[in-house]
Amino acid sequence: MRSRVHSRVPSQVGDFADDVKRVFLELGRMFGPESLVGECSPSVDVLETDTSVEVVVDLPGVDPSAVRVVAKGDALLVVGEKARRPAHEESTFHLVERDFGRFARVIELGRPCEFNSATARLVAGELRIMVPKRADRRGVAIPITVTTKA
């Protein structure tokens, strides 16, 4: 079994709480309040290269217009809604394991990133968010002249 990236529930994040409420209200206006029942928690992978951090979120069957990505501090908020699969009139479900409904994931990147240059693509059921790392300035020595004058 693979280890999972730990993420926090939006109500524990404080600054993200208002963003989550606003996005869910917007999604409710777009898709109607009945579409916001249920909850799901999509799987997330976080990968790091020398130049960027990549977040991959499994979102099969999710419409790109139903997904919002917000960056704040060193974290990303991914929220949206996965529509319930409609049943055919001539069929009845015997087993339902696939999630549907609202989702919200907060992923802490744990390092300074250039969110202004980030990109996000939803292709083949995977949301891929690429965030360039911020250049580390701690390795640059800046000499300061010492004088005896006040």
Q: What is the mean pLDDT of residues 144-149?
A: 69
Question: With pLDDT > 90 as the criterion, what percentage of the chain qualifies?
Answer: 30
Q: Is 90 exceeded by the pLDDT of residue 11?
A: no
Strand 119-123 with 101-108, pairing: unpaired
Q: What is the pTM (predicted TM-score) of this model?
A: 0.65
Place of tokens 């777009």: 30
Q: Measured between alpha carbons, how far is 16 from 33 in angstroms, rounded to an integer? A: 22
- The pLDDT value recorded for residue 20 is 64
Pick the CATH number of 10-132 from 3.40.718.10, 3.30.200.210, 3.40.50.720, 2.60.40.790: 2.60.40.790
Residue 23: band (very low, low, confident or very high) from pLDDT cuts 50, 70, 90: low
**CB-CB neighbours of 143 under 10 Å:** 5
Question: 26 near 125, Cβ under 8 Å?
Answer: no
Give domain limits for the chain: 10-132
Largest CA distance in the chain: 91
Strand 67-72 with 75-82, pairing: antiparallel
pLDDT in tens, 118-140: 999 999 999 999 999 987 656 56
